Amino acid sequence: MDTLAEIRTALDAASDRLARGLVRQPPQEFLDELWTHIYSGAPVDLQPYVWSRLMELGAGLLPGTGQGSRFQPPASHYRL
């Protein structure tokens, strides 16, 4: 995914699937696929946005997807 519009469309579709109860796979597997397909393919400058959105989705699916998550923020989230 190269553009913000493509990323937003994919994340909105995933969120909609969750809201409608259309996700049939285990929550962890669903999130892992999103991380692989959306976050990993996002340009570095869009990764903070993708990370934030995926963390929001994960918080609704999996308890403990917050600060101690295995999905750490991208390096651009850290201040030197």
The full 3-state SS of 20-38, as one line of letters, equals: CCCCCCCHHHHHHHHHHHH
Percent of the chain with pLDDT over 70: 75
Q: What is the pLDDT of residues 28-46, one digit of tens each?
A: 888 888 888 998 889 988 9
pTM of the model: 0.74
Is pLDDT above 80 for 78? no
Check: CB of residue 35 under 8 Å from CB of residue 7.
no
Query: Alpha-carbon distance 56 to 15, whole Å?
Result: 10
